[in-house]
Structure 1
Amino acid sequence: MKPSTTQGTQLGYVRVSTGQQDEQLQLDALDKVNVLKRNRYIDKGVSGAKVSRPALDAMLEDAQPGDVITVYKLDRIGRSTAHVASLIADLAERGIFIRSIGDGLDSTTSTGRAMLQMLAIFAEMERDFNRERTIAGLAAAKAQGRVGGRPRVTDSAMNRQAQALRNAGESIPDIAKALGVSIATVYRVTKARARDNRDV
């Protein structure tokens, strides 16, 4: 049964995108809300675009029902609005709470839970917009004479469409179906794009 109140440990997560960036602002914020240093997980020099982040993965594995994950801002834990919403939903299912200091969001409160539900709604809207843009892009390409045979995701515009859908949380098979390419092609294109992404 999922706990309705906090009963566990307060965990903290910190991420900075490059080795030159300073994580002190995030650490100071965790100090102010009494997150113990031994309960902090830090990814340093790790882009938000990366699917796997060692410290985040370790924290998610260690977290138990009743625990509270505290971050400075939600963009520290997610690649996109859709990814953040999906992660929060997964944590809620596990009975784990999340608190974002800078965003003023706290799922241990009824107001915070309502705000996070709104975030999930906006994330779904983002996914819908991405689908619509992809469909419109495919229609435009067809109107310009790119018809016949199996379309290939080789140009930059199609690469961006594939990556946008992936960032919005769409599955690889669904993206392949939408773009009319093989699953292997989508894996190759989105992986290549992910390596090129950098946080600013």
Structure 2
Amino acid sequence: MASIGYARVSTLDQNADLQHTALRAAGCKKIFTDHGVSGTRASRPELDKLLDHLRDGDEVVVWKLDRLGRNTRNLLALIDDLEGRGVHFRSVTEGITTTGPMGKAMLTVMSAFAQLERDQLAERTKAGMAAAAANGRRAGRREISAGDRNVKRARELKAQGLKPADIGKIIGTSRATVYRYLSLDAD
């Protein structure tokens, strides 16, 4: 029996180091990691490779349930598929394993609560955005024009030969924002 890890981060600028450390401590010699892939997608390249790699008697280990699936139906279907292939499942953080009936029951309950939490968060986010809109505020980044004082300052510093990262430190913005400022058409 081999314990094989699966890690996932939703955006490319996140890193999976915390997950990798926990999975190695849980006995995983091999870890498949999806970077910049939402858990709502049914097809994830590294998860697909993991599923192809598994053999009867193996164990799939994740750091948390939500790394494997973002909704209860998807998560339970995936685990049913694993069980049908003779593969066990373990979640390190929740302490859940499918090696017995109690673990399977806990998995169902925990994934249902995780789904409820995500649904409530989405509902609160929508309500907050609606309240903000009712008060005349818009979601998203504010619009800027080429006449904005930070845009002008960024251009001045760029003309002096400074790099975008250094300009960002001086005017208090990120390097990406400096690039956005510099790409605006001049008035």
> How does the TM-score come out when normalised to structure 2?
0.56
The secondary structure found in structure 1 opposite 2:52 is: helix
- Please name the residue that 2:19 is paired with: 26
> Could you tell me how far apart the structure 1 residues matched to 2:109 and 2:26 are?
25
Following superposition, the deviation at residue 115 of structure 1 comes to 1.8
- Please name the residue that 2:99 is paired with: 108
> Could you tell me how far apart the structure 1 residues matched to 2:9 and 2:110 are?
23
- Overall identity of the aligned pairs, in %: 40
Change (3 A) 1:113 1:51: closer
What amino acid does structure 2 have at the position aligned with 1:9?
Answer: A
Q: Does 2:63 align with 1:72?
A: yes
Residue-pair matches, total? 115
> How does the TM-score come out when normalised to structure 1?
0.52
Structure number with bigger Rg: 2
Following superposition, the deviation at residue 19 of structure 1 comes to 1.1
**Structure 1 residue ranges without an equivalent (≥5):** 1-7, 127-200
**Structure 2 residue ranges without an equivalent (≥5):** 117-187
Following superposition, the deviation at residue 113 of structure 1 comes to 2.7
- Please name the residue that 1:5 is paired with: none
Give matches, 1:9-48, under 5 Å: 9-36=2-29, 39-48=30-39
- Please name the residue that 1:158 is paired with: none
- RCO higher in structure (CA 8 A, sep ≥6): 1
Segment of structure 1 superposing worse, 64-73 or 27-36: 27-36
What amino acid does structure 2 have at the position aligned with 1:21?
Answer: Q
Moved over 4 A (4+): 117-120
Give matches, 1:51-200, under 5 Å: 51-118=42-109, 122=112
What amino acid does structure 2 have at the position aligned with 1:99?
Answer: R
